[in-house]
Amino acid sequence: DRRDRRTAARGVRVGRRAYARAGRFAPLVATVDDVIVGACEVSIQRDFEAIEALREARGEDDAEEYAYLSCMTVDEAHRRRALASLLMRAGERVAREWGFNVALLHVYEENRGAVRAYEKAGYETIRAPFRTPYDVLRGRTKLLMAKRI
């Protein structure tokens, strides 16, 4: 879209790494002048709790798998330049190519900046709180967010 073209004009590119051609995992990177400054992963998952939350929130009765965005990161020196949005949109395009119409992600509730960025991009919390044993030990809570893509 237009925002992606403007960002590309500033020398930012998002591309898939070559080994992602299998269609179940795609690492995406954002580069500036051939230096990686951001990344995220898109994969196909089958977590029962996430599928159940998706069914409850969106009525996705036939969902057995879902597209999952994870490991979103942007170098601190390159934040606030729409790179996270660019990576999200690239991940959503990959998910659509794989035949999905919904993308899910987890974010720590305490990471208010990321929660706001995901909400601005159209993600909604469909289940909260979610805590793994590791999260309990660290005193953190995850939100499960979804977006129709």
Residue 35 has pLDDT above 80, yes or no: yes
Compare 131 and 4 and report the one with higher pLDDT. Answer: 131
- Sheet of 66-74, strand order: 12-16, 25-32, 35-45, 66-74, 102-108, 142-148, 124-130
Number of other CB atoms surrounding residue 106 within 10 Å: 18
Residue the block writes with tokens 């998002």 = 14
Prediction pTM value: 0.80
Q: What mean pLDDT comes out for the span 114-143?
A: 86
> What does the pLDDT read at residue 14?
56
Instruction: Judge whether 38 and 87 are in contact, CB under 8 Å.
Output: yes
> What does the pLDDT read at residue 32?
87
pLDDT bucket at 2, cuts 50 / 70 / 90: low
Residue the block writes with tokens 């919390």 = 125
Instruction: Judge whether 109 and 115 are in contact, CB under 8 Å.
Output: yes
Q: pLDDT of 37-54, one tens digit each?
A: 999 999 999 888 888 888
Residue 20 has pLDDT above 60, yes or no: no
- Residues 91, 40: Cα–Cα separation, whole Å: 8
- Residues 85, 80: Cα–Cα separation, whole Å: 10
Instruction: Judge whether 68 and 43 are in contact, CB under 8 Å.
Output: yes
- Report the mean per-residue pLDDT for the chain: 83
